[in-house]
């Protein structure tokens, strides 16, 4: 298959982006990233964000969209904002407690995601869910990640965060195999029990297997790098640069 492009989740460089979004986007582009995924817009309008990304030559892959911004009374405004951005992905990065306290809650959440996917598809968007670590801890006899993806429409993307999953005891290879075709975007985050902010290639993520599955059965359209390491130990932009350099060294 053709090369899968690489984006940066801008939460990785959030302090820099808050100080100056245009300069940060240009720095990200200069590192060799093809696109970005947003997690907030730092007070800028959709028009201004799109102009800054275009000026840097970056594709806006999507954004982490709050659950509250995808409800009936907010959905139209959210769709309009994202159409200006030119993104096609609205992934939910976290859920309120009432959506995830019991297995029954997760089943209701799964039904909500399936309905949302059907509403967004005619508008040219897809949705999905981004995991943390709790989704891989048993709840009422089942892992929440499996409750969610066993009971959602196949149009609901599984945005698997590799490092978060492994932190919770989850096996990302298992889930890439269990849910083929559902990894339109995937977060490339390293996991090391000794360093929560490890650079890609400096932990225990089985990268070769991950890439093989994404590039064959995963239906993966974008690799998205995320690093949440301590900026006091290494500046955020340096971390982002080190991660893409590592991916380039792996042939990506």
* 3.20.20.150, 3.10.450.350, 3.20.170.30, 3.50.50.60: CATH of 6-249: 3.20.20.150
Look at residue 175 in the predicted model and tell me its pLDDT.
98
- State pLDDT tens for residues 87-109: 999 999 999 999 999 999 999 99
Select from 125, 8, 126 the least CA-distant residue to 56. 8
- State pLDDT tens for residues 143-193: 999 999 999 999 999 999 999 999 999 999 999 999 999 999 999 999 999
Number of neighbours of residue 167 by Cβ within 10 angstroms: 19
Q: What percent of the chain has pLDDT over 70?
A: 100
pTM (predicted TM-score) = 0.97
Q: Strand, helix or coil at 241? A: helix
How far apart, in Å, are the Cα atoms of 19 and each of 15, 22, 83, 118?
A: 6, 9, 26, 37
Q: Are 82 and 37 in contact (CB under 8 A)?
A: no
- State pLDDT tens for residues 118-146: 999 999 999 999 999 999 999 999 999 99
Look at residue 2 in the predicted model and tell me its pLDDT.
85
Q: How high is the mean pLDDT of the chain?
A: 97
Give the HSE-up count for residue 246: Cα atoms under 13 Å, Cβ half-sphere: 19
CA 56/CA 188 separation, integer angstroms? 22
Residue 1 above 80 pLDDT? no
Look at residue 228 in the predicted model and tell me its pLDDT.
93
Q: Are 36 and 5 in contact (CB under 8 A)?
A: no
H/E run at residue 77: helix 75-85
Q: Are 117 and 127 in contact (CB under 8 A)?
A: yes
Select from 175, 184, 105, 102 the least CA-distant residue to 145. 175
Look at residue 245 in the predicted model and tell me its pLDDT.
98
Q: Which residues 6+ apart lie within 8 Å of 75 measured at CB?
A: 69, 119
- The stretch 197-207 carries a mean pLDDT of 97
Q: Are 4 and 247 in contact (CB under 8 A)?
A: no
Q: Are 88 and 126 in contact (CB under 8 A)?
A: yes
Q: Strand, helix or coil at 139? A: strand
């Amino acid at each position: 298959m053709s090369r899968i492009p690489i984006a940066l989740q801008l939460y990785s460089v959030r302090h820099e982006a808050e100080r100056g979004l245009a300069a940060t986007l240009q720095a990200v582009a200069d590192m060799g990233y093809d696109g970005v995924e947003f997690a907030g817009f730092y007070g800028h309008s959709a028009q201004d964000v799109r102009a800054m990304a275009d000026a840097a030559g970056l594709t806006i892959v999507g954004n982490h969209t709050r659950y509250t911004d995808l409800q009936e009374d907010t959905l139209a405004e959210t769709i309009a904002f994202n159409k200006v951005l030119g993104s096609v992905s609205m992934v939910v990065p976290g859920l309120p407690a009432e959506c995830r306290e019991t297995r029954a809650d997760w089943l209701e959440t799964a039904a909500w995601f399936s309905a949302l996917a059907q509403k967004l598809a005619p508008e040219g968007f897809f949705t999905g869910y981004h995991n943390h670590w709790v989704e891989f801890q048993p709840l009422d006899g089942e892992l929440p990640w499996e409750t969610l993806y066993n009971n959602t429409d196949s149009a609901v993307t599984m945005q698997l965060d590799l490092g978060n999953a492994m932190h919770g005891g989850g096996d990302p290879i298992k889930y890439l195999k269990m849910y083929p075709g559902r990894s339109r975007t995937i977060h490339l985050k390293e996991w090391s029990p000794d360093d929560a902010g490890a650079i890609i290639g400096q932990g225990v993520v089985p990268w070769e297997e991950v890439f093989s599955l994404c590039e064959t059965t995963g239906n993966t359209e974008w690799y998205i790098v995320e690093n949440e390491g301590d900026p006091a130990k290494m500046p955020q932009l340096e971390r982002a640069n080190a991660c893409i350099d590592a991916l380039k060294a792996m042939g990506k």
